[in-house]
Every structure is written in structure tokens, then in C-alpha cells.
Amino acid sequence: MSYLRPALVLLLLFTALTGLAYPFAVTGIGQALFPAQANGSLIEKNGNVVGSDLIGQTFTSDRYLWPRPSATSAADPNDPSKTVDAPYNAAASTGSNLGPTSQKLADRLTASSDAWRKAGLAQPIPGDAITTSGSGLDPHISPAFAKAQVARIASVRNMSEAQVRQVIETATEGRTFGLLGEPRVNVLRVNQALDKLGS
Amino acid sequence: MILNGWLQIAIILATVLLAAVPLGAFMAKVYAGKRTLLSPVLGPVERGFYALAGVDPAREQGWRAYAFAMLLFNAAGFVLLYAILRLQGFLPFNPQSFGALSPDLAFNTAVSFVTNTNWQSYAGETTMSHLSQMAGLTVQNFLSAATGLALAMALVRGFARSKAGTVGNFWVDMTRSTLYLLLPLSFVTAILLVALGMPQTMLASVDATTLEGAKQTVALGPVASQIAIKQLGTNGGGFFNVNAAHPFENPTALTNFVQIWQMLVISVAIVFTFGRLIGDSRQARALVWVMGILLVAGIAITYAAEAAGTPMLHQAGINPADGNMEGKEVRFGLALSALWAAVTTGLSCGAVNAMHASFTPIGGLIPMFLMQLGEILPGGVGSGLYGILVMAIIAVFVGGLMVGRTPEYLGKKIEAKEVKMAMLAVLILPTAILGFSAVAAVLPQGLAGLLNAGPHGLSEILYAYSSATGNNGSAFAGLTANSPWYNTTLGLAMLLGRFAYIVPMLAIAGSLAAKTKLESSTGTFPTHGPLFIGLLIGVILILGGLQFFPALALGPIAEQVMMLTGKTF
């Protein structure tokens, strides 16, 4: 008995304190002080949510900057026991988890690399352009990958390459304090800015 | 590129050391029950908790009573968490109406969080209600970390005291760890993480219509409050499936910095606490050197391996300078992914910001090896300190054998009982890791979970049991672990790795406390100089390396050789 009471009472007290009071307090303060971040850094257009500044989206049209490939999937609408490829499914994050001797990975890389060559894009291929990210939701691409897409976007949209480059530049983040992380381009921000230019 | 990468790594590690020294001093005061800055606010809460729980904070326990209290508290925590997960469908704060977890998944998850492993057989955003995440998982994030810290204090008292019958009071150590250390640090850093972009809302998801007109459902939730303690308590169980690779769980390079700092700081600080409590900070510095040297070596090898890329990537025409970006996020790149991978496995954290399964063979070997070394570099909160002290006991024993002297550590004679108990504890690692891996590698139930074939498949299994036994929680996540076989055996490996280690360790604490603390003389083998640092590193590597080398040779090392010859599976 002398052990049971402290075990149970302390467990309940700490559940109330760390499991309810703490997360609700952080929610209250976070929502009050930093509502934009606390709600997922959402981006709106004419009052509708078009996505999150932090979460990548799939873009397939030639008019848009393309993101990295994504390994996320979703339940098959025809047979819920199976899954189908669903890039940038932000309701179920995952990476490919394929290892360095995986034939499946080799096939995927070869296919992407052939497509890259066929499109006449600059060599060598940037490291992020045909690899999937850890989350499948990477909102960024490398500046090199963005640069390789400038000519395509400019020609489809009848813009000058300098204009497209300008748009990309404004959506490029450097290293934090010039030191931390890697330079990166936010794909959704670029595409929104391209649409705003209206061509 | 490489220079910048190393600069990032150096600055993060330096920031940890800078904070760990004062934090260690603060912790020494907390565990001694002295007044601190937080006492005016938290003192009444602490006393109130004791009054309600019927705990007399002045009454100390011998090692058996301490162990029994710890086991009972953890068992109660397991039952409560298991119940919450099984009853999830009937409980509130379940906006997506998730149903109950299966019995084996609930067992695995409850064990996982109670043992500070935080292995995820589930995908958070598609399995767990907000209530399960908060009142279930977050609570054990705090309490399992507090348990680890308390146990470390018991062992430290064993060294610090002379002819004592007690090693402290578990209820008091656990309560103080949570109230004065984990909760305030989590609270402040959680708010900081929200400011830096991490969501914290009771909404479950938001629907967006993309510029191309497609629908995207973005999962959300009370992320920041859970991530803060997940990192500080070296728990590592993520809110989302992909853990800290998820942009909501780790939005920027700055949150990445904060989270690496969080996961290291308490584990390093408690070593300095140890130095203060035994009254010899040189001993603490020697242990930090050992941890630092081995950890930095691990970071360097992983970074070099990932920067080198793979033949497959080079053949596809990828810029060789970009290394291996499969499974990595652009905002972190190679350096921060490699740093995180080594830190999270040198610790028993297990949070990941890149997919270890897609690392190069050598880049993936290092995290696996760091876990097999016993999670002591610097290890989980508390568990890292008692782990490395157990290794130090073995090291002085080996040193004593070499020169023919009675081994002594920190003024305590190390005799047959301590060495037997230390060996009993460390032998759990190979038994559980190699034993379970061997069985899983031949049973159809084990092989059914594999994603990759060839040596990488064996690595998936070996990594899983290393992670579970070391109470780490990271994975080669190609493995489909949510099956009755893996849920059950990984759960058992976690229980063994935690509790079958702790009980002999507490027996050592009790035995040491009862001994007379000897003054050091000219005949004492100094345990704070470079010679001892080298000896301890040698014992850690030889003990770890020899036990696991054959298994590693069949997994990642074989894969490296085959990869270079262009073989795929």
C-alpha cells in the first residue's frame, strides 16, 4: 500500500499537469501570440486556403515550378486495402525508405534521369531534383533545381527569363544567419508569385 | 560546402556545452532539494503533490525499495497508456474519430513510451487522437525521462556517499525532475518552437485547394507541446509519421538547431551534475571527453559517407557534389542530416530528420553502431550517465587486471559484485539485439515486414532490435513493424533493454553506497586523465565492436562492398 498510493496519485497528478494543463497552456499562448504559425502558416488567396508555407505541394503543369518527387501514397479509391501513389499527401507523410542497393530505387532514378535528359535540362542533375525527400512534403527545392526550370516556365508564360529568375530570387531563402541550413527555394511561393504576375 | 557543414556542427555542439555547465549546476541544486529560482512557484506544487500522494520527502529508500517504486510507477504508467490507446474511440479530443489501436500495437506503443524508446509502429497523423498524443504519449515522454534522471541520481549517490544504506527517494527524484527541469524547459522551448513556425492547435487538419485546383488535406494538431518534451526527454516519438523530417515538426534550420540543442543539453548537463555531487568535476569532464570524441567521430563518418553519395546516384547523372539526398530535406541538406543522425542515436532519442533507411551503407552503419554501443554517447537523459558509469566500472576492472591492482573508481573499491552486476547489465544488449534479430531473420513473420532485399533487409531487422533494446526508437523505416510479430518482440526487447539493465545497475548503486569512500592516494589509478579516457573509449569500442561486428559485416558492410560492385536487389 505504501507504494501503490504514490504510484497512482502521482501518475494521475502528472497526467493532469503534463498531459492536459501543459499542452492547453502552450496552445492558448501560441494561439494568442503567434496565431499564423500556430495554425500551420497557411497561405490564402481571395479568402481560400491554397496551402501552407511549410508544406510542399505537387505541381505538374509546365506553367509552374516543379517540386521534388514525393514518396507519399493514399488509399486506393477502388480498393481501400491497397495504396496508390499520391505525391505530397499532407495527411500521411512518408519517405521512400529505399536503400542504396535497391533495384526499385535504381529503376526510379533511371526513369527520372531519362526524363530529365529528354527535356534537355542542364547537366549535372541537382541532388534534390530526382530524389524523394524524407517527409514526402519538402516545400523547397535547391536553387540549382529552380534554375534548371527557368527556361521552361519563361517560354510557357511568355515571360523573359530574367523575370522568372527575379521571382525565384524573392522566394529563395539563404542560410539562417548566413550559416545554418542550406539555401532553398519555396516552390509554392514562387508559383503564387508567378500567378500574381498574371501571364 | 564541407567547411560550412562543419562550422554548423561545431556551433551547435558548442552551444550545448555552454548551456550544459550552468544547467548541470542548477540540477545539482534541484536534486539536493536546495532552493532555486523556481522554488517560490514550484515549491508549493511539489509539497502539494507529496501531501496528496502520501510521500515523505525526507524518508529515503534503499536500492531495493527504490527499484520497486520505480517498477511499480512504470507499470502503472503502462496500464494507463495501454487503456487510453485501447479506449481511444470512446475518449474526447478525437476530431478524426480514430478507433482503438489493436492489442499488439497498443502494447508495443505503451511499452515504447514507458521505456523512453518511443519506437513508432504507428503513423501519428493517421492513428492517434489528440487526447492520446497529449494525455497518453506526452505524459510518458515526461515520466520516462524523469525516471531515467532519477535512476542516474541513485547511482551518483552510490558513488558520492560513504557507508550509506539508502540511495535517495524515487518519488522525490522523479517529481523534481519533472517539475523543476523538464516542465519549465519544455514550456519555454515549446513557445519558442511555435514562434519559429511549429503548429499548436486543436484542429486536426485543414483542407486547401492548390493553385492547380487539386485538394490537399494538411494534417495539424498540438505539435509544439509534444515536440519540446520529445526532444528534451530524449524520447523521440514524433507527432507525425516521418518525425522531425516533417516540415511541421521541424520547419526551419533554426528549429533544427533548437531541437538538436534540446536533445543533447540535459544528457550532457547531468554529467556535470554528477561532477558536482561527487565533488570532482575533473571526473565529469573526462566522461564528456569520451562521449564527445566518439560522437564527433560518428558524425564525421556519417557526414563523409552521405557526402560521397552512391554509385547509383552518380550513374543517374546527379551532381556528385550534392551527395545522397534520397530521404533528406533540402532545408537541412547533408551536414545537418548527418549531425542529427549521429546525435539522435548516440543519444537514445531516436527522432529523425532524414530517413536513415536511405542513407549510404556506412552512413546507416554508424547510427546502428552508436545504438549498439549502449546509448551512452551521451545517451538518454539519465540513462546515458548511468550507462557510461557502468562502462567505467568495467574499464577500471579491465585496467586493474592489466596492472594487478584492486580496481577503484571515485574512491569506491570495485569488487566482484559490482563487476558481475555491470556485466549482467551490459550483456542484455547482445542477447536481445542479436537473439531477436537472428530469429526474425529466419522466421516468415520476420521476413514479411521487409521492404528492401539483400543485406539491406538484414540491416532493417538489426536496426529495429538495436533501436528497441537501446531504447532509441529510430528505424530503418522500410520495415513494416506494425505486425503482431514485430510489435510483440520489439516490445519485449524494449522492456529487456530498459528494466533488465536498470535493476542490476541499481544493485550496483546500493552496493557502492554501502562502501566506505576511500581517500585517493599515490597508488590510485587516476580516472580523469587522457590514459583513462583512452581506456574507456577502448573498452566501449571493443566490447561493442566485437559483439556486433559479425552481424554488421553481414548487413551494412556487405552492402557497402556489393554497392561498390554495382549489385542491386
Give pLDDT, residue B1: 57
User: Alpha helices, DSSP H only, in B404-483?
Assistant: 416-426, 428-442, 444-447, 455-469
Candidate from A89, A97, A109 with C-beta closest to B355: A97
Residues of A in contact with B194 (CB under 8 A): 26, 29-30, 33-34, 37-38
Task: Give exposure, B478-496, as e/b (b: 16+ Cβ within 10 Å).
Answer: bbebbbebbbbbbbbbbbb
B288-335 pLDDT, tens per residue?
999 999 999 999 999 999 999 999 999 999 999 999 999 999 999 999
Residue B548 has pLDDT above 80, yes or no: yes
Residue B521 has pLDDT above 90, yes or no: no
To test the contact with chain B by mutation, choose from A14, A39, A145 the residue with the greatest count of B C-beta atoms within 10 A, namely A14
Give pLDDT, residue A122: 86
Give pLDDT, residue B519: 86
Say yes or no: A170 contacts chain B, CB-CB below 8 A. Answer: no
Say yes or no: B52 contacts chain A, CB-CB below 8 A. Answer: yes
Residue for grid cell 555547465: B21
What is the pLDDT averaged over residues B532-560? 93
- pTM > 0.90: yes
Give pLDDT, residue B464: 97
Distances in Å between the Cα of B392 and the Cα atoms of B284, B410, B533 are 12, 10, 10
Give pLDDT, residue A167: 96
Rounded distance between C-alpha atoms, residue B7 and residue B134, angstroms: 37
Put simply, the answer to whether A175 touches B247 (Cβ < 8 Å) is no
Give pLDDT, residue A198: 73
3-state secondary structure of B247: coil
Residue B82 has pLDDT above 70, yes or no: yes
Please, what sign has the CA dihedral across residues A100, A102, A105, A111?
Answer: positive
Give pLDDT, residue A1: 53
Distances in Å between the Cα of B310 and the Cα atoms of A70, A99, A110, B147, B317 are 20, 10, 14, 42, 11
The whole-chain average pLDDT of chain B stands at: 95
Give pLDDT, residue A2: 86
Residue B322, number of CB atoms within 10 A of its CB? 23
Q: Which positions 110-149 of B are in contact with A (Cβ < 8 Å)?
A: 123, 125-126, 134-136, 138-139, 141-143
Give the burial class of B402: count Cβ atoms within 10 A of its Cβ; 0-12 exposed, 13-18 middle, 19 or more buried.
exposed
In chain B, % of residues over pLDDT 90:
95
A134-167 pLDDT, tens per residue?
999 999 999 999 999 999 999 999 999 999 999 9
Distances in Å between the Cα of B262 and the Cα atoms of A138, B27, B249, B324 are 23, 16, 14, 27
In chain B, % of residues over pLDDT 70:
100
Say yes or no: B56 contacts chain A, CB-CB below 8 A. Answer: no
State the complex-level ipTM.
0.96
Put simply, the answer to whether A93 touches B245 (Cβ < 8 Å) is yes
Say yes or no: B406 contacts chain A, CB-CB below 8 A. Answer: no
Residues of A in contact with B82 (CB under 8 A): none
Angle formed by the axes of helices B530-552 and B428-442, nearest 10°: 20
What is the pLDDT averaged over residues A75-85? 88
Which value, in Å, is the radius of gyration of the alpha carbons in chain A? 22
Q: How confident is the model at residue B236 (pLDDT cuts 50, 70, 90)?
A: very high
Give pLDDT, residue A120: 86
Grid cell of B296 as nine digits: 564527433
In chain A, % of residues over pLDDT 70:
99
What is the pLDDT averaged over residues A55-84? 93
Q: How confident is the model at residue A199 (pLDDT cuts 50, 70, 90)?
A: low
* Strand-strand pairing, A83-85 and A73-75: antiparallel
Size of interface A-B (CB pairs under 8 A): 394
Say yes or no: B96 contacts chain A, CB-CB below 8 A. Answer: no
Put simply, the answer to whether A95 touches B332 (Cβ < 8 Å) is no
Put simply, the answer to whether B218 touches A17 (Cβ < 8 Å) is no
B338-375 pLDDT, tens per residue?
999 999 999 999 999 999 999 999 999 999 999 999 99
A178-189 pLDDT, tens per residue?
889 999 999 999
Residues of A in contact with B190 (CB under 8 A): 26, 30
CA B337 to chain A, closest CA, distance in angstroms equals 10
Q: How confident is the model at residue B149 (pLDDT cuts 50, 70, 90)?
A: very high
